[in-house]
Structure 1
Amino acid sequence: MKFGFDIDDTLIDLRAHAFLLYNRKLGKKVSFETFQAIQRVEIHEPFGLTDEEGSAMWNSALEEIYFTDCPSFDGALKTLQTLAEQGHDIYYITSRPKQYCAQTKAWMEAQGFPITDGHFFCGMQDAEKVAIIKELALDIYVDDKPAVLETLHDVTTKVILKNQSYNQHVNLPRLYDWQEFQTMLTK
């Protein structure tokens, strides 16, 4: 089978990692419960930052957010390693900025994610992600972003939404825990 995966907030817990960095950088102690209640992708509001200030903070800390000790979601790495061992094709499709593509691929490999040459797509807008997913004719695609998944209703690709606080309004098959991924494949 051909599996496709977004990276940020699908395989790795990027927003939570960034939230902890924001607490440290801003000298705050905003609770993790507050983080879990945020209804949008952006995480700056609980810190009292405007959208402009939040965007500036995110952009100034991108390398630290992307390439330090951001953890993968529990079970995500093992799930992908198992799929690779079983002979499945694994594709990564991320909208991370183009200038970080090579470094992102190297970082993912260093974490142990199985990456095959030609199976790593990076630096795309949502429409480009959708086009790649369709072109690859993936059997399964997992992402956290409704804007991508909701545009895939006219393909045979089974889409799975990685559960996040900001995508609760979407009615798609939902992955809460990577330990249940194999079970979802048989449904």
Structure 2
Amino acid sequence: MLKRNIQKGYKMRVGVDIDNTVANLNEELVKRYNVSLEVYPSPDLPGGFFSTEEGLELLAQAKPLPGAAEVLRALSRAGHEVLYITSRPVLAINFTREWLKAWGFPRGGIVFVPRGFKKVFAACYGSDIFFEDDPGEALGLQEVGTWVYMLEWPYNSNVEGVRIQRFSSWEEIEESLDCFSQYRMVL
């Protein structure tokens, strides 16, 4: 899957979404509120929900997706720059940093951007690859030339693109890590 898109000798800038890409927020949403995962963002949640005390608590309690920390640590050890880009409310900065550290994710900057602006950040920053689950963000990221690795959820099952590669678990990415150790993604 990944080997056909590589060029030797480059250290990548890796953008990483947090919620439902490395943190399993969906599990908590379904368990507590019985929300549907067919539509994103969920119409079952009121606007601004994640800025409330209840929403912030939910973000803090989400568990990591299996294999995510291991894959990102391996990319970081190989010299690639890992940067977390999230649409969480800025109020979540302290516990987001602590959450990443507590679950063994590699150090990296944390950037908070409004939903729909990840492509702007990626274009300005020069992100080579981006791990993302949001359908709109994924489509925008590919528009600016970023390779998107999209973790599969029901709400993004119909999203396709030339620069979008789907994966069903972080273990899939882990099996392809040799492709990332010293290469850059190219067309």
Which band: TM-score by shorter chain? 0.7 to 0.9
1:157 maps to 2:146: yes
Instruction: Give the counterpart of 1:66 among 55, 59, 75.
Output: 59
RMSD after superposition? 2.5
Q: Which residue of 1 aligns with 2:32?
A: 21
1:55 maps to 2:46: yes
**Structure 2 portions without partners, runs of 5+:** 1-11, 180-184
Pick the structure with more helix per residue: 1
| 3-state SS of paired residue (1:74) | coil
Instruction: Give the counterpart of 2:83 among 82, 85, 91.
Output: 91
Q: Which residue of 2 aligns with 1:137?
A: 126
How many Å apart are 1:8 and its aligned residue?
A: 0.1
Q: How many residues are treated as equivalent by the alignment?
A: 163
Pick the structure with more strand per residue: 2
Identity across aligned pairs (percent)? 26
**Structure 1 portions without partners, runs of 5+:** 23-29, 45-50
Q: What amino acid sits opposite 1:120 in the alignment?
A: I
Separation in structure 1 between the aligned mates of residue 75 and residue 145 of structure 2, nearest angstrom: 20
CA contact (8 A) 2:14 2:129 kept: yes
CA contact (8 A) 2:135 2:156 kept: yes
If you compute each CA radius of gyration, which structure gives the higher value, 1 or 2?
A: 1
TM-score (norm 2): 0.76
